[in-house]
Structure formats: C-alpha cells, structure tokens
C-alpha cells in the first residue's frame, strides 16, 4: 500500500500541492506502556517534490513532526495534466514515492 496520498490543483498560475503521508514518526523518547522500554526512533528525514524533473521543494524533517504528517505548499506555474512527484526517506533507510496529475 502506498504511504502517500496526494493532490495538486492549479488556479491563476499557482499550483497547490497537498499530501498526507502514512508514517509512525516515532521520536525515540516514548516508552512502550507494556514493556517500559523506549520505542526506537523512526521518522522521515527528507521529503522531496519534483515537477517536470526539477526539484521544486526539499524539506528536512526530524522527530518533532507528528505521526502521519500532512504537507501543503504552493508553487508558481504548473499546468493541468503535468505530473508532480513526492518522495521521502526516513532514518531507517525506508523510502516511498508517489505521483499525481495536476488538475
């Protein structure tokens, strides 16, 4: 199952990109209630968005980002039918990417 749900819509020369990423985003400081042991850190470190093969946004994240993070941003340009790609990499080396078509 893909971890990224994404939409992109353009209006008046501005494209709004919205994404919801399914990820536990563990800080490494919480304790398991049953065992009392710390839950290992597991969080997204980098999010990259591309449009027409060009990187249009890079976000460097850390453990302070909440579980299942939501991301929304705007870019100048982008036309209906263009493809936007979003990808992430976490501190365990796991990664995923998703694409959507601008409407």
Return the domain boundaries, the chain.
4-27+38-101
| Both structure tokens of 18 | 């919205």
- What CATH superfamily classification does 4-27+38-101 receive? Immunoglobulins (2.60.40.10)
- pLDDT, residue 1, reads 54
Predicted confidence (pLDDT) at residue 53 exceeds the cutoff of 80: yes
For 75-95, the pLDDT digits (tens) are 998 999 999 999 999 999 999
Q: How many whole angstroms separate alpha carbon 103 and alpha carbon 93?
A: 32
Cβ atoms of residues 57 and 41 within 8 Å: no
Q: How many whole angstroms separate alpha carbon 19 and alpha carbon 69?
A: 8
Predicted confidence (pLDDT) at residue 2 exceeds the cutoff of 80: no
pTM summary value: 0.90
Mean pLDDT, residues 25-47 taken together: 95
């Amino acid at each position: 199952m893909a971890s990224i749900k994404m939409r992109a819509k353009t209006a008046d020369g501005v494209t709004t990109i919205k994404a919801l990423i399914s990820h536990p985003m563990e800080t490494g400081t919480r304790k398991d209630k049953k065992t009392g042991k710390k839950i290992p850190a597991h969080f997204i470190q980098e999010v990259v968005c591309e449009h027409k093969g060009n990187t249009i946004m890079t976000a460097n994240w850390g453990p302070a980002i909440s579980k299942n993070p939501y991301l929304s941003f705007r870019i100048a340009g982008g036309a209906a039918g263009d493809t936007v790609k979003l990808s992430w990499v976490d501190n365990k080396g796991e990664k995923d990417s998703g694409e959507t078509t601008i409407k």
